Amino acid sequence: MTSGVAGRYASALFDLATEEKAVPAVAKALDGLSKAISDSSDLKRLLSSPVFKTEDQMSAIDALASKGGLSGLALNFVRLMCDNRRLAALPDAIAAFQALVAEAKGEAVAEVTSAEKLSATQLKDLTAALKARVGKDVQLVTKIDSSILGGLTVKIGSTLIDNSLKTKLSNLKTAMKGSA
């Protein structure tokens, strides 16, 4: 989780937030930003597309900040990523930061990808099942990817549990080719 560009940015932010005793505030701000990114296809496009000018991206970041929830270290972090043309790595950097926070708390982070938004009950049941499996508290980082068609993929550390319909259909297709 803490490798590559996103990991380096997340590690630097975590070190700075720890030094300034601002980890909870930064984590809360980045959680809110992560939710905003996952809820808005326009925001995802703005972050990931290289066709947008840095000034346009910075204006969008300032608009998000003025709505509230993004300030201080978290805002400076996002602005730095924007200045360095690294906004495409922002969602991964947020996930890496969340993993560092969870690790510091003695928790495990599970990246859960589903075809549609999970209900509160489903999230609660999934958290309980994963806690039983790994033996410690689990923090969920959820993503929505309609291309998996249904089911879930769950990544905890280097372990990937792929129970998606897309993978099952692919496995069935491969098995049918082998038996023909």
Q: What six digits make up the tokens of 34?
A: 């992560």
CATH code where residue 152 lies: 3.40.30
For position 11, what pLDDT does the model report? 94
| Residue at which a domain ends, from 105, 122, 153 | 105
10-residue averages of pLDDT along the chain (180 residues): 82 95 93 85 88 91 84 93 93 90 88 90 93 89 86 88 90 82
Same domain, 74 and 112: no
Q: Which pTM does this prediction carry?
A: 0.74
Distance CA 90, CA 34 (A): 9
Distance CA 2, CA 95 (A): 9
Same domain, 101 and 138: no
Cα angle 97, 59, 99; round to 5 = 5
Which contacts qualify for 142-147: CB closer than 8 Å, 24 or more apart? Answer: 142/38, 142/112, 142/113, 142/114, 142/117, 142/118, 143/38, 143/111, 143/112, 143/113, 143/114, 144/38, 144/113, 144/114, 144/115, 144/116, 144/117, 145/113, 145/114, 145/115, 146/115, 146/116
DSSP track, 145-170: -GGG-SEEEEEETTEEEEEEHHHHHH
Overall domain count for the chain: 2
Same domain, 29 and 99: yes
CATH code where residue 15 lies: 1.10.520.20
Decide: 93 and 33 in contact? Cβ < 8 Å: no
Phi, psi of 3 (to 5 degrees): -105, 165
